[in-house]
Copies of this chain bind each other. A is one copy, B any other.
Amino acid sequence: MTQSRSEREVEFGRIVAFSDGVMAIAITLLVLNVSVPDLPAGREDELTRALLRRWPDLLSYALSFAVVGRFWLVHHRFFGTLERFDARLLVLNLLFLGLIALVPFTTEVLDSYGTEPAAPILYALSLGLAGLANWAMVDHAIRRDLVRPEARAATLPYARGQGLLPFIIFAASMPIALVSPTAAELSWVLIFVVVVLRRRTRRGPASSSTRRPL
């Protein structure tokens, strides 16, 4: 009665290819936000200074590239654990992609109005929701037994709440932005700090190479 479909039916690989396409395009469109300085004739010698003043553009480019890159990585590891999928997973995936495809827009708002609270709040809202959609996919897959049995143990901690980390960090940064937009933007770096820390811990003696979280 569940709408689950075998890998062969709706052709698993194509869902991944479509998702890859959307994420690769969203990540590459980010460059359109790094605007070329528009110097008046006769003032071209100010190009160096004008380019150096572009560093916030490049910083937010790097941030969004890293965030989308990280989401892509998690998306792929997760889809690698799936045995089958159902209609709800496809809808959640489209929702996730629709939020990721907004990143060039939210990044441009951040570029243009980084010192206004509304800019980091919008950024955190769309990417926090993307994180939530991502976690909802994993949670749904665990509940409906869509994950391959041997990958279940590794996927479980992510569904249990670890996967909510990006959502929590982005959500927490929203009230911070009301006080200090810069502090909110800096707090997002925590996502990558946690990933690195978690990897370190796993290398300790108690860790096992077979228990690989997403």
Contact = CB atoms under 8 A, between A and B. Distances in A.
Given A18-B20, A30-B101, A65-B98, A10 B80 contact: yes
B11 A80 contact: yes
A105 B62 contact: no
Contacts of A51: 109, 118, 122
A102 B212 CA distance: 33
Interface in A1-54: 1, 3, 5, 8-11, 14-18, 20-32, 34, 36-37, 39, 44-45, 47-48, 51
5 contacts: A1-B203, A9-B77, A48-B117, A65-B98, A69-B98
Interface of A: 1, 3, 5, 8-11, 14-18, 20-32, 34, 36-37, 39, 44-45, 47-48, 51, 61-62, 65-66, 69, 72-73, 76-77, 79-80, 87, 90, 94, 97-98, 101-105, 108-109, 112-113, 115-119, 122, 199, 203, 209, 212
